[in-house]
Structure 1
Amino acid sequence: MKTEKEKMLAGELYDPMDAQLLAERGRARTLLKLLNDSDPSAKEKRAGILHGLFGVQSDVFIEPPFYCDYGTNIRFGTNVFMNFNCVVLDVAAVTIGDFVLCGPNVQIYTASHPMDAALRRRGLECGAPVTIAADVWIGGGVIICPGVTIGPGSVIGAGSVVTRSVPEGVFAAGNPCRVIRPISLFA
């Protein structure tokens, strides 16, 4: 029989009030408080907190405040930048490629709820992974919904709500986000 965590990571319905999941979210909250309250000059301390939060060394620069559910379900490439007030709901895998830039207030959601009201009343949740490929720039205030993939080199305009996957090398914007045009080398 699967644990609630195994169900969560598999994208199945799970109980978020499970003791293991509550403990893991509590651990993340403690580390996030340390990160968000840390002195900007305490680079080594911040690096240690991020290592504890994500479970691996990462080459990510995060401007606090930063928020996430678990941290351990987020994987960063090299030279990733996340501006102030980013939120990552990582009940499923979040993969962020090399040289990704996230503006302030970017929100990445893998968490979702069933459409069926009876299941929602039971408190069940589900999730779907999000993948952001290398060299993507995500403008400020963008919301990325569960199950979305953003292709390499694409740019997502500020304030967009990304409900569907975005192909490689395009500028996409709006609510819902849609492809506006391809990106040329000097655009």
Structure 2
Amino acid sequence: MEIQEIKKRMYSGKLYYCDNETLANEQLKSLEMLYDFNATRPLEQDKRKELLKNMFAEIGENCYIEPPLHANWGGKNVHFGNGVYANFNLTLVDDCDIFVGDNVMFAPNVTITTGTHPIHPILRSKKAQYNLPVHIGNNVWIGAGVTILPGVKIGDNTVIGAGSVVTKDIPANVVAIGSPCKVFRDINENDMKYYNKNMEIDIE
């Protein structure tokens, strides 16, 4: 299969073989920049910002990613809005597009994966793969250790509880938890009164 056909299939949800040599070499070039990003020192904030602009498909203003960052394509297929914060060990399996809105927060050890494989072992032994994009809305908080599977969409303002495995779409304005992740409750007016059980919000 020609490399251009493979690339079309990467972004269309169709099966392709991911062991193409040309594809692998392109991937390695992207990973070189990721290596440089993870090797930066804490005071090299400007260098980190410049690297991220070159690594990602899109990255907005006031974004911060705490190294180490892991990404199959070094962020080449990642689209971040403004004000995105990611704590350490964010893993992006970005074999196709990952879209993240504005003011999204990622706690430590979050994994977002677009790449997956067919069930049958014969196809897997031939390195068959397919990819489905992930969409995360604005003002979303993803808790520690969350895994988001291929093709998932998460609506605006939603909170995904720590340790959840998100296998299906989650709507806007809810708290969702579990494995598989399910809606636990709506976000409501009480969330502007209390920030933790019966602990009242005492700042403006």
TM-score of the pair, normalised by structure 2: 0.87
Provide the residue aligned with 1:80 in structure 2.
84
Aligned match of 1:42: 44
Distance 1:99 1:110 in 2: 21
Answer yes or no: is the 8 Å Cα contact 2:83–2:104 preserved in 1: yes
The separation in 2 between residues aligned to 1:99 and 1:185, in whole angstroms, is 20
CA deviations 1:105-146 (Å, max 9, x no partner) are 000000100012221111111111100000100001000000
Q: Which runs of 5+ in 2 are unaligned?
A: 192-204
* Residue number among 147, 153, 157 corresponding to 2:157 in the alignment: 153
Paired residues, what number? Answer: 187
**Counterpart-to-counterpart distance in 2, 1:16 and 1:133:** 29
CA deviations over 1:84-106 (Å, ceiling 9, x no partner) = 00100011210000000000000
Distance 2:26 2:180 in 1: 33
Rounded to whole Å, the distance in 2 between the matches of 1:8 and 1:56 is: 19
The aligned amino acid for 1:163 is T
Tell me how far apart the structure 2 counterparts of residues 178 and 163 of structure 1 sit (CA, whole Å).
Answer: 9
Greater shift in the superposed pair: 150-159 or 14-23: 14-23
| Structure 1 residue aligned with 2:31 | 29
**Aligned residue number for residue 14 of structure 2:** 12
CA RMSD in angstroms comes to 1.3
Alignment of 1:85-164 (within 5 A): 85-164=89-168
- Tell me which residue corresponds to 1:65: 68
State the alpha-carbon separation in 2 of the partners of residues 10 and 142 from structure 1: 25
What percent identity do the matched residue pairs reach? 39
**Which of these two proteins has the greater Rg computed from alpha carbons?**
2
Is the CA contact (8 Å cut-off) linking 2:59 and 2:82 kept in structure 1? no
Question: Whole-Å Cα distance in 2 between the matches of residues 183 and 40 of structure 1?
Answer: 36
Q: Which runs of 5+ in 1 are unaligned?
A: none
